[in-house]
Each structure stands twice: as C-alpha cells, then as structure tokens.
C-alpha cells in the first residue's frame, strides 16, 4: 500500500486529502497515475505540480513508488 | 546567533512576541518586525493555511539558515501560522535584530518574500460560505526574483 497525499486544490480534485493505493510491486509513477480517475491523474500531472517522495522533493521522471511509500503532490504554494 | 523558527497551529500574540524578541537582543541597535494578518474586506469570512509536515518546518529552518548566511544578524524570528483564521488575525511574524538597521530591514524583507511564494504553505479563503484556493500572484514571484 502506498499513500498518496494531495495538497492545496489537488485535495478538492481528489475529493480527499489522502488516498491509499494498493501496489503489488514497485510501480512507475506513470503506471500509478493510470490507476486513478482520469481527471485526478491529469491534475496531478500539471506543469506546476511538484512531488515529494517520503518527505523529500523528487523529480517525476523515472519515479518509482514502492509499498509503504508516501507520495505527496504539491501544487503552487502561497503562504504569508 | 540563534534563530527561533516556529510553525504555530493556534493564535499568537504578535506584540508579546516582538517585545520578548527585542529584549533578548539588547546589543542590537535595530529590530525590524513584519506582521502579516488576514486582510478584512472583499467578503472574506475566513482564511485557512495548510502545511505538509515533512516539508514545511524543515523548509522554514532552511530559510532561516539562508537569511543568517546573507546578513549579519544578532537574532531572527520566523513564526508562521497554519490552520483557520479570521480577518484581522495574525498569520506571520518575522523579526530581525542587527547591530545596524539596514541588515535587519533586508533580512526581514527577504524572509517574507520567501515565505509568501517559496515555502510549503497552501492558502484558501472562504467567501459567502464557499472555500476557494488562492494561487500565488505574479507580484509574489516578481518579489522573489529580486533576490536571485
């Protein structure tokens, strides 16, 4: 099971702040996205969405998600 | 110097924080503080700041180290709220203490520009009972680019 975390407006698209994703084996991000509803998968691949794998910012290219991982999707930030 | 970096989940008293900060650094000739608060008006009923635990606090600490490396400061305070706030409530407080005022002004300015558009926070506001996410403004990115 991998945990997908959706920050900001992506939470609204997903309909929940988190989603548990059953993974039988290490799965490439592109394949993982195919398991999700198309509108969500599209939003998660937005050009300004960044990723964090297990708390560290990661590049999407070549990313592989394994059982027990936490993958966060981070849209543009706005603080202060 | 010591930095005091805090992610705060409930209301804080900016006046008391500034007073305590200034008292800690009697050798500093200047203390600059910036307080950001929820803007009242435009029908905004509430503002919510969200953060992501694994990134937000480590990011704020890295920002403090960057500020320390750029300016000669006696002390630095970065305090940022997360959670739901009402109009007029404080969101963020930055204080910088230095021997001479210019360093403190610049350090606080730099820290704020980075908290606005380069820190791990997401913001939404409630207008007429409806929440909507707030994207960073172009001006925020332009402000940030001044330091590149």
Cβ of B52 within 8 Å of Cβ of A52? The answer is: yes
Give B96's contacts (C-beta < 8 A, 6+ positions apart).
B31, B32, B33, B67, B71, B73, B75, B76, B77, B103, B104, B105, B107, B108, B111
Find out whether A32 and A73 touch, Cβ atoms under 8 Å.
no
From the list B50, B54, B117, which residue is nearest A8 (CB)?
B50
Is A8 in contact with B140 (Cβ distance < 8 A)?
Answer: no
pLDDT tens, N- to C-terminus, chain B (148 residues): 679 999 999 999 999 999 999 999 999 999 999 999 999 988 999 999 999 999 999 999 999 999 999 999 999 999 999 999 999 999 999 999 999 999 999 999 999 999 998 999 999 999 999 999 998 788 888 888 999 8
Q: With beta carbons under 8 A apart, name residues in chain B contacting A5.
A: 52
Q: Does residue B21 sit at the A interface (CB-CB below 8 Å)? A: no
Nearest to A8 among B36, B115, B133 (CB): B133
Q: What is the ipTM of this complex?
A: 0.94
Ranges under pLDDT 50 in chain A: none
Contact between B120 and A57 using a beta-carbon 8 Å cutoff: no
Domain ranges of chain A: 2-67
For residue B110, the SS3 value is: helix
* Residues A80, B52: C-beta atoms closer than 8 Å: no
| pLDDT tens by residue, B61-73 | 999 999 999 999 9
Q: Cβ B54–A75 below 8 Å, yes or no?
A: no
Task: Report the pLDDT value the prediction gives residue B1, as an integer from 0 to 100.
Answer: 66
Considering only CB atoms, A80 lies closest to which of B52, B55, B92, namely B92
Domains and CATH numbers, chain B: 2-145 (3.90.1170.40)
Asked if the C-beta of A47 comes within 8 angstroms of chain B's C-beta atoms, the answer is no
Q: What is the pLDDT of residue A79?
A: 83
| Spatial CA neighbour of B79 closest among B11, B7, B23 | B7
Hey, are the CB atoms on B133 and A9 less than 8 Å from each other? yes
């Amino acid at each position: 099971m991998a945990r997908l975390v959706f920050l900001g407006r992506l939470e609204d698209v997903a309909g929940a702040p988190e989603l548990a994703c059953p993974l039988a084996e290490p799965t490439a991000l592109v394949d993982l996205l195919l398991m999700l509803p198309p509108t969500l998968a599209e939003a998660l691949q937005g050009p300004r969405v960044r990723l964090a794998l297990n708390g560290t910012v990661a590049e999407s290219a070549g990313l592989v998600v394994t059982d027990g991982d936490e993958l966060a999707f981070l849209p543009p930030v706005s603080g202060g | 110097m010591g930095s005091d970096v805090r992610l705060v989940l409930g209301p804080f008293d900016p006046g008391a924080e500034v007073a305590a900060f200034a008292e800690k650094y009697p050798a500093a000739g200047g203390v600059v503080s910036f307080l950001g608060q929820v803007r009242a008006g435009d029908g905004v009923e509430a503002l919510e700041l969200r953060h992501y635990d694994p990134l937000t606090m480590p990011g704020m600490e890295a920002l403090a180290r960057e500020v320390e490396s750029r300016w000669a400061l006696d002390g630095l305070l970065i305090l940022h709220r997360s959670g739901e706030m009402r109009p007029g409530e404080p969101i963020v407080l930055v204080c910088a203490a230095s021997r001479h005022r210019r360093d403190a002004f610049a350090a606080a300015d730099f820290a704020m520009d980075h908290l606005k558009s380069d820190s791990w926070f997401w913001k939404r506001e409630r207008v007429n009972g409806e929440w909507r996410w707030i994207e960073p403004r172009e001006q925020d990115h332009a402000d940030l680019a001044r330091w590149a």
